[in-house]
Chain A
Amino acid sequence: MIGSLAQEVGIPQAVAEADRSRAFEAAVREHQAMVFSVAYHFLQDHAVAEELAQEVFLELYRHWDQIESREHRIHWLRKVASRRCIDQARRRKLRNHVSLEDAPEPFTWMPAADPVLKRYIEQLLGKLADTPRLVVIMRYQEGLEPAEIADVLDMPVATVKSHLQRSLALLRRKLSFASREGES
C-alpha cells in the first residue's frame, strides 16, 4: 500500500526532475556564450570568468522555478552576471586600477589587423572603471539600448548615456592618438 503510493508520487517527481534538468542544460548551452563573454570582457581573465559564469548558472538553477520565460531568463542572467562581475572586481581588486585617462599612451601604432586591434580595444576597455565598462559591454556585446541597460544595471537612463558618451570619447581619443603615433 505504502510502496505503491510512494511509486505513484515518486515517479512523476523523478520525471519532473529529469525534465527540469534537461531544460536547464539546454538553457546553459544557449546562454553560456553570453554569460561567459560578459564576465570575460569585464574581468579579462578566462579562468575567473568561467568560474563566475558557472556560479551564475548555479544561481539560475536555484531560482529556476521563478523564471517565467526565455526573455525573463536572459534579462535575469545579464543582471546577475553584471552584479557578480562588480562584486568580483570589488572583492578581488583584480588589477591595480589605472583609469583610462591616466593610462600610458602606446609607443607604437597597433596594426589594423583585426585580432590585434580587438585585443588592443579589449585592453583599453579593461582600463575603464567598473560601471562604465559594464555599460559598454552591455551596449556593444549585447546590443542593448540605453533604457535596457538601465534596467539591467539598475541605474537611470541618463547615467547610462553619460557613461556611454564619456567612455566612447575616451576610447576614441586613445585609439586616434595611437593611430597618429603610428602614422608619424
Chain B
Amino acid sequence: MTEFEDQLRRALERKDPSAGFAARVMARTTQKKRPLPWVNWRSWTAAGIAAGLCLGALGLEVEHRRQVEQQEGQAAKAQLMQAMHITSAKLHQIHQRVRGRL
C-alpha cells in the first residue's frame, strides 16, 4: 500500500448519512403507494371483464332473438302449409261433387 493509496483510502472513508436516516427509510416502507387510475392494472382488468360480460350478454340476446324469429318463421310456414293442405282438400271435394252432378 503506497502513501498515495493510503491518502485515497482516507479520502474515501465511509460517512454516515444525516441523523434519522433509518427512521425515514422505515417510514417509507409503510407508505402505501397510490397508483394513478390509468396505471392501475386492476382497474383495467375489471373494465376488461365488464366489457367482455357486456359483449357476451349482447351476443346472447342477439342469438336469442334470432332463434325466436326462426321459430316464429317455422310456425308461420307450418300454418301456411296446413292452410294450403286444407284448401287443397276442399277444392278436391268440390271438384268431385261437380263431376258427380255432371
Contacts and interface: CB of A to CB of B under 8 A. Distances in A.
Interface size bucket, A side? 35 or more
A24 B21 CA distance: 13
A140 B22 contact: no
Contacts of A77: none
Main secondary structure of the interface of B (DSSP, over half): helix
Contact of B24 (A37, A54, A136, A140): A54
B8 A40 contact: no
B95 interface: no
B21 to A, nearest CB: 5
B36 interface: no
| Centre residue among B5, B7, B10 by max chain A CB count within 10 A | B7
Interface of A: 21, 24-25, 28-29, 32-34, 36-37, 40-41, 46, 49-50, 53-54, 57-58, 61, 114, 117-118, 121-122, 125, 136-137, 140-141, 143, 168, 171-172, 175
Going nearest first, the 3 A-B pairs with the smallest beta carbon separation are: A121-B11, A141-B12, A36-B17
11 contacts: A21-B26, A24-B29, A25-B22, A28-B25, A29-B22, A32-B17, A36-B16, A40-B15, A57-B25, A58-B28, A136-B8
Given A28-B22, A168-B8, 12 more contacts: A29-B22, A32-B16, A36-B14, A37-B12, A40-B15, A117-B7, A140-B5, A141-B12, A141-B14, A143-B9, A168-B4, A168-B5
